[in-house]
Amino acid sequence: MSSIPSLYQRRRSPTMQELGSIPWLRLLQPHERDRAVSSLQISQAMPGEHVCVLGRQVTYWFGLTDGLLKMSSENAQGVSMTFAGLPPGGWFGEGTCIKREPYRYNVQALRKSVVAGLHIDTFHWLLDNSLGFNRYIMSQLNERLGQFIAAREIDRLSSPDLRVARNLAALFNPVLYPYCGNAHVLRITQQELAYLVGLSRQRVNEALTTLEAAGAIQVEYGGVRVLDLEALRTGVFPSRKTAPPQMAAIGA
């Protein structure tokens, strides 16, 4: 048996700075916020550690205050599919929490990450009592549906350049990931991006070079600066004049 404390055993109360990084808290009434804050817990996930495990019963609604997570699953043949990369500011698993069902996916830390958790009972109390919280969850569910549909499309793309472009664009969703979506720089390594895209680091490097030459991004030390988010989303790069042939199949 491992002597290393589990993620749950390492939990603690959040700091004021960590509370300030939780976007939905500001939507609550004072008494609602007090109840939520008293239920929130913080824990640090190490690289490779699981925050959510396929088949495990849900007990917390999770969000990320720092780091990078990957949401994925495997089919019966052992083939892995990444649903989403989860940057800071993102909260996830609201559908699972609403239904109080076991997880249908894994969520794993790609680097040392600070994870926040709201107890499932408090989550449901807020659903029953807070209009602001309900609006936030409805917006999350709507955006998440679009995100998963896009993930299926990305998984079928034959162009590695487009796969990298669309995955980068997904990390800048202003609703799901407000701190990335309203900024222009994502702190991510090529290896971490390779884990999300499902390509080798060398191929991701080639794709980033191509996207930089097209004027869509600028590769910086320790991250990527997005110059043209719409180009990443659509695959239409102004310097190329026309969309790559593979784009015709995306909407089919």
The CATH number assigned to the domain holding 146 equals 2.60.120.10
pLDDT, residue 98, reads: 96
Asked whether residue 115 is assigned to any structural domain, the reply reads yes
Looking at per-residue pLDDT, the higher value among 145 and 21 belongs to 21
pTM, entire model? 0.82
Average of pLDDT values for 181-205? 86
Two structure tokens written together for 223: 């991250």
Asked whether residue 10 is assigned to any structural domain, the reply reads no
The CATH number assigned to the domain holding 242 equals 1.10.10.10
Rg (Cα) of the chain, in Å, rounded?
A: 19
Q: Name the residue range of residue 44's domain.
A: 16-153
pLDDT, residue 82, reads: 81
220 and 132 in a common domain? no
165 and 53 in a common domain? no
Provide the β-strand partners of residue 57: 102
Two structure tokens written together for 106: 């894994």
pLDDT digits (tens, 9 = 90+) for 144-190: 888 777 777 766 667 889 889 988 988 888 888 887 755 688 889 99
pLDDT, residue 247, reads: 34
Asked whether residue 147 is assigned to any structural domain, the reply reads yes
Of the pLDDT bands very low, low, confident and very high (cuts 50, 70, 90), residue 198 is confident
Q: How many domains does the chain have?
A: 2
27 and 94 in a common domain? yes
pLDDT, residue 9, reads: 87
What is the end-to-end Cα distance of the chain in Å, rounded? 51
pLDDT, residue 80, reads: 74
Asked whether residue 219 is assigned to any structural domain, the reply reads yes
